[in-house]
Amino acid sequence: MARRLTTRDIRQRAEDGGRISMITAYDAFSARLADRAEIDIALVGDSVGTTLQGRPDTLGVEMAHMLYHTEIVARCTRRALVVGDMPFGSYQCGDDRAVENAVAFLRAGANAVKLEGGTAVAPLVARLTRAGVPVMGHVGFTPQSIHQTGGPRVNKDKTELLSEARALQQAGVFSIVLEMVPAAVAKEVTAALDVPTIGIGAGPHTDGQVLVFYDLLGFSPDFSPKFLKRYMDFDTQALEALRRYKADVESGRFPAKEHSY
């Protein structure tokens, strides 16, 4: 049986020149598929707010929701490193409560937590890592700050990104997500760091890549950012299947003899 990957394995992979695959997972279905595909990291993303909860953004996602999904993903994976995404408000509420919230993720089965931000969260990251909680950083576009940024935007500020990423590395993160960063800037940031970078909309030079499960499988036909590659068209195929089922029920073609006791 495959053993579960650790944060050390992830760092080692990058040091050896290998690439890291990461995907979001929220439920038994996505977690089991990700694990069977041997994706290295299952991120229980706060994107659960937009993908499963039908919200316009991630800001309404709560700790209780994240712990619920983290338990499921941890239960339904054997190999993937499980990272729990700390939701908005769960680490901006004072460091003592933030540590309690991060510990709750580990108790729910996560192997690490992710939080958004650079210099501003570095002291908290240092405290968490000292307490034994592995942390993944996240800089560039940070979806929890949409009311400040005005929405998704490419962050081209190399000096700012470098200092944010270095502050996180210094604080002890084991890896950093770079979201919506020009490829050339992501390349320089990656080269400047010892810890692996994992890109989403950050070009090909990061140590790893992450996409949202539902986006890459084509569940969300109206969401088409430049960085997204769809590997199947689930929405069209599922709609077609449901329409055929409805037509079969209405015409009496289903259930047929072979479906009946």
**Which residues of this chain interact with ligand KIV, rule CB under 6 A?**
24, 43, 45-47, 85, 177, 200, 210, 212
Give the span between the Cα atoms of 58 and 50, in whole angstroms.
6
C-beta of 87 vs 109, nearer to ligand KIV: 87
In order, the DSSP letters of 47-91 are THHHHTS--SSSTT--HHHHHHHHHHHHHT-SSSEEEEEPPTTSS
C-beta of 115 vs 249, nearer to ligand KIV: 115
For 69, residues 6+ apart whose C-beta sits below 8 A from its C-beta are: 26, 27, 44, 48
Beta carbon of residue 255, minimum distance to ligand KIV (angstroms, whole number): 39
C-beta of 46 vs 71, nearer to ligand KIV: 46
Give the span between the Cα atoms of 198 and 85, in whole angstroms.
15
Beta carbon of residue 125, minimum distance to ligand KIV (angstroms, whole number): 16
Give the rounded distance of the alpha carbon of 59 from its chain centre. Answer: 15
Nearest to 216 by CA among 14, 13, 7, 33: 33
Beta carbon of residue 143, minimum distance to ligand KIV (angstroms, whole number): 7
Beta carbon of residue 241, minimum distance to ligand KIV (angstroms, whole number): 27
Q: Nearest-CB residue to ligand KIV? A: 45
Beta carbon of residue 76, minimum distance to ligand KIV (angstroms, whole number): 18
Tell me if 208 sits within 8 A of 196, measured CB to CB. yes
Tokens of 147: 């009311």
100 DSSP assignment: H
- 179 flagged as catalytic: yes
Tokens of 157: 């500020």
Q: Which of 15, 164, 179, 240 is catalytic?
A: 179
C-beta of 169 vs 175, nearer to ligand KIV: 175
C-beta of 223 vs 234, nearer to ligand KIV: 223
Residues tagged active-site:
179
